[in-house]
Amino acid sequence: MDTLQALQTRNSIPFLTEPAPTSEQMQEIYKGALRAPDHARLRPWKFIEVRGSSREKLANIFISASKKLNDNLDDEDIDKLRNAPLRAPMIIVLAANIKEHPKVPKIEQIISLGASAQNILLGLHDMGYAAVWRTGKLAFNPEITHELGLEDNFEIIGYLYVGTSTGKEKPIPELDVNEFVDVWDLSLIHILTLPTILLV
């Protein structure tokens, strides 16, 4: 699969099963993730890879952190939290390592992590795996950041659920590029206005 094909055919696939990528494959994918744009080389990326029975530990973290923020969780809420990490054979926690810098604001560092996450998604797609990026209440949650043992300057921006597609894939919509792109071309403007100038 070439680069443009990967870019144009990647899709979010929430229905996942085994197998997940091997550790060796993930090493190659992470190398691509670390090529994301990174102003001032702050390296604001942290990936926590959760596999196998460790997903149950992540589920307990979800439950514990959510209880601290909401005392009214019922059994249904807790069951959803317990089952959340089990929806894929592997989870990658995306944590932004925010650093103080006079020229690189926090939002730019978060965008850099987002770019690296997209590189991971593209690498997975290229290798024939599937994934979906999930956020919701479990993202940007300081209690979960603390439960994961991360320092206060870290922010979790989401979770990549990774595995192999079960075959249930939503169609990729055809989008009109012109609805999202404006082209500013001064040479074209000069050509279009030249007859008017000559007539004046």
SS3 of residue 108 by DSSP: helix
Q: Does residue 8 have a pLDDT over 80?
A: yes
Give this prediction's pTM.
0.91
Distances in Å between the Cα of 157 and the Cα atoms of 61, 74, 170 are 16, 26, 24
What's the pLDDT score for residue 114? 98
Q: Enumerate the domain spans of the chain.
A: 3-171
Q: Does residue 199 have a pLDDT over 60?
A: no
Q: Does residue 73 have a pLDDT over 80?
A: yes
Which tokens is 30 given?
């992470």
| pLDDT single digits (tens) 143-176 | 999 999 999 999 999 999 999 999 988 899 999 9
Distances in Å between the Cα of 95 and the Cα atoms of 76, 79, 111 are 28, 25, 12
Q: Which CATH code is given to the segment(s) 3-171?
A: 3.40.109.10
Which tokens is 65 given?
């952190």
